[in-house]
Amino acid sequence: MSSAVDPTRINDLPALVGQTVTVSGWVTHLRSSGKVAFVVMRDGTGTLQCVVAKKEVSEATWEQFGLLTLEASFSVTGAVRADARQVGGVEIGVKELTLLGPSALDYPIQPKEHGVDFLMDNRHFWLRTPRQVAIMRIRNEIEQAIHDFFYERGFLRVDTPILTAAIGERSGLFATEYFDEGTAYLAQTGQLYGEAAAAAFGKIYTFGPTFRAEKSKTRRHLTEFWMIEPEVAFNDTHANMRLQEDFVSFLVQRVLERRPAELKELERDVSKLEGIKAPFPRIDYTDAVATLQRKGSKVTWGEDLGAEDEALLVADYETPIFICNYPKEAKAFYMKENPADPRTVLCDDMLAPEGYGEIIGGSQREDDYDKLLHRIHEEKLPVEAYSWYLDLRKYGTFVHSGFGLGLERTVAWICGSPHIRECIPFPRLLNRLHP
Amino acid sequence: MSSAVDPTRINDLPALVGQTVTVSGWVTHLRSSGKVAFVVMRDGTGTLQCVVAKKEVSEATWEQFGLLTLEASFSVTGAVRADARQVGGVEIGVKELTLLGPSALDYPIQPKEHGVDFLMDNRHFWLRTPRQVAIMRIRNEIEQAIHDFFYERGFLRVDTPILTAAIGERSGLFATEYFDEGTAYLAQTGQLYGEAAAAAFGKIYTFGPTFRAEKSKTRRHLTEFWMIEPEVAFNDTHANMRLQEDFVSFLVQRVLERRPAELKELERDVSKLEGIKAPFPRIDYTDAVATLQRKGSKVTWGEDLGAEDEALLVADYETPIFICNYPKEAKAFYMKENPADPRTVLCDDMLAPEGYGEIIGGSQREDDYDKLLHRIHEEKLPVEAYSWYLDLRKYGTFVHSGFGLGLERTVAWICGSPHIRECIPFPRLLNRLHP
């Protein structure tokens, strides 16, 4: 009953040339001349050409080959042979082949064009296709790179709560009943908890899902998305931007180094990524508005920048850029008033090049108790729910800054993907809760 | 305005002996002889003794010292001196000291005993105390070790959705309205999605928050907790258990190697952890029931094991143990029927020693379409919601296994903590949604 050895995977095979192995996976391609048959197997770790010569296998194995269909699961036993023409440099000369799980002929994803809704309905199968596998491998690389970046720099990961009382941003909240405690809301950000944690641990980051119950239907919005939110005690807005540019450069260079095959599968123009190295240009909001007006935008000082304005600004650059120090009214209540111009706050948005737009929003946080309380009143937020957050300013307040990086937007940019929906395994959109 | 250099941290200082630095942090201890004053600063990366000799500082600095209170934030400038008696081997001879953020004298956490409810109400401050810092540093180490373990072994991390249609386990669901799509439920597990991902990527794991709206009030239950759920194509139940014991051994040994100071702070008996190395004993459920009956338990064959029964079983061991192949009725619908005894399923629970109980539940998954459909009907689950899950058995079904590790339970065991509530930054319990 017990298998003494763990299953061999396709990506193990280059080290096993000349040996006889058994590998299991699924059919992605089939062809036969009547004398020699070829099956391409995928197992999630790679693809493998399996060569079945009718003369060299039993009648049973040849019959099993005849039963294979697209995405049927099967195992092969045979010798691993070097073959430079193959991905991974090996193929297998089949001695035995066994159909494990048949696949009905109506397997949904066929080698033809499918509509987006159909692909989304069949996301559990769509994920198996080469483009989606490449995106998910790059997503995984970015995620591990994020953890490595912060771990190596002494940041503590802090998992902030999803179920919260009325705290965070203002609208678009998912609500659920929470026993006798009333209504809980799904977190839109972990930042406020991150600030408390920064006072305890110095340098922290969060890494978790966040939620927006907004009726946005764009290429850049999900109702459930993952966000990474570092928060650092005693960092001012300048140190905060340095951290952001170092961080984003690290992620891009890491993917270039370790995922070249996946970038190639995606036909990504890597020359656009190779130059992504800190520092990035810093543009004051006020200067940005002047530039935009020169370029014909109707934006006026005081407004937030829309996606079109952002695109106009980044068009002049090949790296991400920072837009700094927005007007107070355009930004969240917790951002620190700019001492040099109290109409503005010490904040930055990082805009990715090639039209990908905002991937980071960051700021120095308001550390003055009275100013923060005033802003909470101005925004008509429930003061009681913020009492512990105000406490951080009452007992040993401190300069601190942080930012939020949207994971799926970052993956979309690095992959060159036109739509965020393919940058998360099971996307949640306005009209999409399945599968 | 711009600080050209990022702030120096206490844990940077051992490399800066002899240099003059500025460091910022919070007061944890104060004392003065009238001529020499000592302040201990914490900044989240470490603690630092700051020595203020009245004769060697300005009157202004001596006055600033007089304004310090517990948890006030302040900065000091001075020379880093080697001092073997200090944590980290250094202290600072203060030249200048500046109070940055005063702390009111009613700072909630004082050096005395506080009740648990009070500490929980002040979790944002409680987190700053040495025991809580040590637990959070160990939690962080375990989290990074989890990512490293799977990354190095070629597993793809897959972020499964939190907002789901009616799928997963059966009761205790948090619900929220989801636009025109009806009710969404917060995920109790990512496993079902993990199974789809295993067919796409071979070896995967999830790492995310999960939710149980259950009225459990024990030392071992949270309503929101983090779970790690690997899923592996072509692994049978035996390979699954080997993966579990390798994984848990890796985590324990990593904490022993890299977090000795934190284990010491917690007064953890590390001799109990040093022997945690694979393999772990495997005990068949049927044998476990016989053992329990011999020991005086009233358990009968067919029932799930309660916490007391588990404690009786692990009492004989110094490593975690597996209890395998439970009766079908005691376990979830998706577990594979045991061919050797169809009354049971191919599953395991891993019980931690020292009374910590279940930290992992794992199983081989039912890969037979008809048997799975039968179980879904038996459990009166909504078949339509499971259609994509059933699809995985209709098109190329495959042997696969996986498990779920409860993060907070694992942290509690490794830390020797009596209660799971201190093993997550901001715990969510039946009566606890704040802060």
Confidence of residue B1 (pLDDT cuts 50, 70, 90): very low
CA atoms A411, A416, A421, A425: torsion sign: negative
pTM of the model: 0.97
Q: Would you tell me which residues 69-88 of chain A have a C-beta closer than 8 angstroms to some C-beta of chain B?
A: 71-73
Say if CB A24 and CB A7 are below 8 A apart: yes
Question: Is the confidence at residue B94, as pLDDT, over 90?
Answer: yes
Does residue B238 contact residue A2 with C-beta atoms inside 8 Å? yes
Given an 8 Å threshold on Cβ–Cβ distance, is A211 in contact with B132?
no
The packing angle between helices B237-258 and B407-415, to 10°, is: 50
Cα diameter, chain A:
86
3-state SS track over chain B: CCCCCCCECHHHHHHHCCCEEEEEEEEEEEEECCCEEEEEEECCCCEEEEEEEHHHCCHHHHHHHHHCCCCCEEEEEEEEEECCCCHHHEEEEEEEEEEEECECCCCCCCCCCCCHHHHHHCHHHHCCCHHHHHHHHHHHHHHHHHHHHHHHCCCEECCCCCEECCCCCCCCCCEEECHHHCEEEECCCCHHHHHHHHHHHCEEEEEEEEECCCCCCCCCCCCEEEEEEEEEECCCHHHHHHHHHHHHHHHHHHHHHHCHHHHHHCCCCCHHHHCCCCCCCEEEHHHHHHHHHHCCCCCCCCCCCCHHHHHHHHCCCCCCEEEECCEHHHCCCCECECCCCCCEECEEEEEECCCCEEEEEEEEECCCHHHHHHHHHHCCCCHHHHHHHHHHHHECCCCEEEEEEEHHHHHHHHHCCCCHHHHCCCCCECCECCC
Start-to-end C-alpha separation, chain B: 35
Give yes or no for A143 touching B (CB within 8 A): yes
pLDDT of residue B414: 98
Q: At residue B2, does pLDDT exceed 50?
A: no
pLDDT digits (tens, 9 = 90+) for B32-46: 999 999 999 999 999
Q: Is-cis flag, bond preceding B7, omega within 30?
A: no
Interface residue A189 vs chain B (CB under 8 A): no
B366 versus A307: which is more confidently predicted? B366
- B174 close contact with A: CB closer than 8 A: yes
Question: How near does any CA of chain A get to the CA of B295, in Å?
Answer: 30
What type of residue sits at position A121?
D
The reported pLDDT for the residue numbered B260 is 98
Average pLDDT over residues B247-255: 98
Q: What is the pLDDT of residue A111?
A: 87
The alpha carbon of residue A57 is apart from the nearest alpha carbon of chain B, in Å, by: 23
Instruction: Nearest chain B residue to A99 by CA: give it.
Output: B396
Measured in degrees and rounded to the nearest 5, phi and psi for residue B173 equal -105, 135
A7: DSSP letter: P
Provide the phi-psi class of B178: left if phi over 0, else alpha when psi is between -120 and 50, else beta.
Answer: beta
Helix (H, G, I), strand (E, B) or coil at A417: coil
Q: B309-323: per-residue pLDDT in tens? A: 999 999 999 999 999
Mutate which: A237, A426, A432, vs B, most B CBs within 10 A: A426
- Helix, strand or coil, per DSSP, at residue A101: strand
φ/ψ (deg, to 5) at A55: -65, -25
Q: Say how far apart CA A118 and CA A106 lie, in whole Å.
A: 14
Question: Would you mind telling me the total number of residues written for chain B in this entry?
Answer: 435
**Strand boundaries in A302-345, DSSP class E:** 321-324
* Residue carrying the six token digits 């082949």: A97
Distance from CA of A361 to the nearest CA of B (A): 19
Confidence of residue B87 (pLDDT cuts 50, 70, 90): confident
SS3 label, residue A38: strand
Residue B167: band (very low, low, confident or very high) from pLDDT cuts 50, 70, 90: low
Task: Give the model's pLDDT for residue A216.
Answer: 84
Neighbours of B30 (CB within 10 A): 15
Kindly report, residue by residue over B258-305, the tens digit of the pLDDT: 999 999 999 999 999 999 999 999 999 999 999 999 999 999 999 999
Determine the pLDDT at residue B169.
54
Contact status of A398 with chain B (Cβ, < 8 Å): yes
- In degrees to the nearest 10, what's the CA dihedral of A92, A97, A100, A104? 90
C-alpha B243/C-alpha B235 separation (Å) is 9
User: What string of pLDDT tens digits covers the 435 residues of chain A?
Assistant: 345 679 999 999 999 999 999 999 999 999 999 999 999 999 999 999 999 999 999 999 999 999 999 999 999 999 999 999 988 899 999 999 999 999 999 999 998 999 999 999 999 999 999 999 999 999 999 999 999 999 999 999 999 999 998 765 567 899 999 999 999 999 999 999 999 999 999 999 999 999 999 988 889 999 999 999 999 999 999 999 999 999 999 999 999 999 999 999 999 999 999 999 999 999 999 999 999 999 999 999 999 999 899 999 999 999 999 999 999 999 999 999 999 999 999 999 999 999 999 999 999 999 999 999 999 999 999 899 999 999 999 999 999 999 999 999 999 999 999 999 999 999 999 999 999
**B209 vs A101, A180, A208: nearest CB:** A208
Residues 6+ apart with CB under 8 A from B54: B34, B35, B36, B37, B62
Q: What is the pLDDT of residue A427?
A: 98
Q: Where are the alpha helices (DSSP H) in A15-154?
A: 59-67, 116-121, 123-126, 130-152
- Which helix (H) or strand (E) segment is A19 a member of? none
Residue A349's DSSP bridge partners are A323, A361
State the helix-helix crossing angle for B307-314 and B285-294, rounded to 10 degrees.
90
Report the residue from A103, A151, A223 with minimal CB separation from B396.
A103
Rounded-to-integer distance, Cα A232 and Cα A195, Å: 8
Specify whether the CB–CB gap between A335 and A402 falls below 8 A: no
Query: What is the spatial distance between Cα B350 and Cα B287, in angstroms, rounded to a whole number?
Result: 16
What single DSSP character describes residue A256?
Answer: H
Among B68, B109, B119, B201, which would you mutate to test the A interface (most chain A Cβ atoms within 10 Å of its Cβ)?
Answer: B201
ipTM of the predicted assembly exceeds 0.90: yes
Cα A409 to chain centroid, rounded: 6
Q: pLDDT digit string (tens) for B377-412?
A: 999 998 999 999 999 999 999 999 999 999 999 999
In whole angstroms, give the CA distance from residue A407 to residue A146.
10
Interface check for A255 against chain B (CB to CB < 8 A): the answer is no
Q: What 3-state DSSP class applies to A205?
A: strand
Tokens 């995977």 sit on residue: A9
A242 touches chain B (CB under 8 A): yes
Q: Which two tokens stand for residue B51?
A: 């020595």
Residue A85, classed as helix, strand or coil, is coil
Asked if omega into A281 is within 30° of 0 (cis), the reply is: no
Burial (CB count within 10 angstroms: exposed 0-12, middle 13-18, buried 19+), residue A255: buried
